[in-house]
Chains A and B, each alone.
Chain A
């Protein structure tokens, strides 16, 4: 079983609605990463937190997403206004210190935007 917990497992939203997904990193891990994976299988980096602070994110996240880690044991990724192109598997991962350490992934939240 994945040491990183993600909820919900499935999420269905209508276009224009808000979506939120949560991630519980592995205990003791200070680095949290979010990825988007579509059918094309590419792992698209979204945002990286270190000690709950966002250190790196892509423009799409800045523009349409909201991501926070209010505590070391909880992070969330939100989409303010869902679009069809946001349909994907959203994977949360954590590592002990940074990306040079092994990443442990959650099972993901599969978002479908209708």
Chain B
């Protein structure tokens, strides 16, 4: 079936160092869009990045991700982690086939902890 896999439940990084959160997927949908959502403590999830174009880098708030359909991945990266980046990050896939409603598939989430 269709799925989104975030391999790390917890990622810990020191402030100022690069960080990468992994996201891979498996889908039979014909039309797909990818999202990264971030949820800060005691807040609602909010969109961080969105992409539906293969091999195109998408950036927002210092984070970037590139959809690679060849490797079924949409990893999230940042060159220099900040303390304020500590949050829960979700990778999600929206897909549909012809004539069907689109469906949103969520990864289980990765907690990012940035230490001083």
For B109, the chain A residues whose CB sits under 8 A away are: 41-43
Q: Is the CB of B101 within 8 A of A98?
A: yes
Q: How far is the CB of A27 from chain B (nearest CB, A)?
A: 17
For B33, the chain A residues whose CB sits under 8 A away are: 100
Nearest B residue (CB) for A33: B104
Q: Is the CB of B44 within 8 A of A45?
A: no
Nearest A residue (CB) for B111: A41
**B94 contacts which of A99, A105, A106 (Cβ < 8 Å)?**
A99
Q: A41-B109, A43-B109 are in contact. Are A103 and B102 (CB under 8 A)?
A: no
Count of B residues near A, CB < 8 Å?
Answer: 22
Chain A positions 78 through 114: 1 when the CB is less than 8 Å from some CB of chain B, otherwise 0: 0000000000000101000011101111111000000
Nearest A residue (CB) for B43: A107
Q: How many A-B residue pairs have CB under 8 A?
A: 53
Alpha-carbon separation in the docked complex, A28 to B99 (Å): 24
Alpha-carbon separation in the docked complex, A45 to B107 (Å): 12
Count of A residues near B, CB < 8 Å?
Answer: 23
Q: Which residues in window 4-33 of A have CB below 8 A to B?
A: 4, 33
Determine if B78 is an interface residue (Cβ-Cβ < 8 Å): no
Determine if A2 is an interface residue (Cβ-Cβ < 8 Å): yes
User: Which residues of A are at the interface with B, using a C-beta cutoff of 8 A?
Assistant: 2, 4, 33, 41-43, 45, 48, 50, 55-56, 91, 93, 98-100, 102-108
User: Which residues of B are at the interface with A, using a C-beta cutoff of 8 A?
Assistant: 31, 33, 35, 37, 43-47, 50, 88, 90, 94, 96, 101-104, 106, 108-109, 111
Among all A-B residue pairs, the 5 with the closest Cβ atoms: A99-B104, A105-B44, A100-B94, A99-B94, A102-B47
A-B contact pairs, 12 of them (CB 8 A): A2-B44, A4-B44, A41-B108, A42-B106, A55-B101, A91-B44, A91-B45, A98-B94, A100-B31, A100-B96, A104-B46, A104-B47
